[in-house]
Amino acid sequence: MADRKVTVLATGFPTELKRALARSAPGEGLSMNDLAVKILADEFKVRVEPSGRPAKPQEASNSNILSLRMPEKLRRKIRQRAVDGGGISQVIADTIAAHFEQAAAA
């Protein structure tokens, strides 16, 4: 049975990081949500299936909120790490930022 999807709002999300997601997603053949969730799933060792939404060039809004649809299992694992400090939004931002830093260093 597939894990049910939930919406997670990452508040205080850095707009420059949101723009990096928006720029990178089409090159990966993924929607912005699918790329962000893939990065998180890779870090937390959770298997996810892409939504199937087409990748398209998009502008990231200037909002500091990132709304993500993800499997409940992934949200639970993010919450577990957030217990150690920082909160869910910070764990999401830190994980995605680390991904882009590693990609830039490679």
Q: Which pLDDT band holds residue 58 (cuts at 50, 70, 90)? A: low
**Across the chain, which distance is largest between two alpha carbons, in Å?**
38
Q: What is the mean pLDDT of residues 50-57?
A: 77
Closest CA to 100 of 51, 4, 27, 47: 27
For residue 47, the model assigns a pLDDT of: 94
Q: Which two tokens stand for residue 19?
A: 């723009």
For residue 14, the model assigns a pLDDT of: 93
Whole-number Å distance between alpha carbons of 35 and 7: 15
Rounded to the nearest integer, the mean pLDDT of the chain is: 89
Whole-number Å distance between alpha carbons of 95 and 45: 13
